[in-house]
Amino acid sequence: MYNVLAESVETNFKINSDCIFVVDGKLTETGLIENAAQTCSAIVGKSFFHEEDTEGDSNELIGFISAIKSVEIYELPSVDQTIITKANLVSRFDSDSYSICAIKCVIKCGVVILAESEMNLLIQEV
């Protein structure tokens, strides 16, 4: 499940045992950061696609974490748990073929905050 708006996004992710970021039954720190980046990229990435294109066929994008300004990881979630990731756009610069943005993100499992971060992303058409 997800909800993408112009300046915010919320996603849910169920952690499966076959996830490449799972070690010893826990989603790793790298997995939490990747989840945050993927969630955050939806805010800006959405603007590169036509609204009726629900499959993402109208464009090809590539995204990069250009900087991690801050990250705090408090707890690692376990396999079979579902995490909820909420991100908010802080700033954005658009050119003809790419966008650079700063985004703040919070990852929770239930009411427990697992991680908080602020990162810069570069989203580019290919």
Say which residue, 3 or 83, is predicted with more confidence.
83
Which pTM was predicted?
0.85
Domains, in order of start, for the chain = 2-125 (3.10.129.10)
Beta strands at 61-73 and 26-27: parallel, antiparallel or unpaired: unpaired
Residue 71 CB contacts under 8 Å (≥ 6 apart), including other chains? 33, 115, 116, 117, 118, 119
| Predicted pLDDT of residue 2 | 61
In one-letter notation, the amino acid at residue 104 is K
Residue 103: which of 19, 25, 37, 18 has the closest Cα? Answer: 37
**In the prediction, which pLDDT does 81 show?**
98
d(CA 85, CA 20): 19
| pLDDT tens string 30-53 | 999 999 998 878 777 665 655 665
Residue 85 has pLDDT above 90, yes or no: yes
Across 49-67, average pLDDT: 68
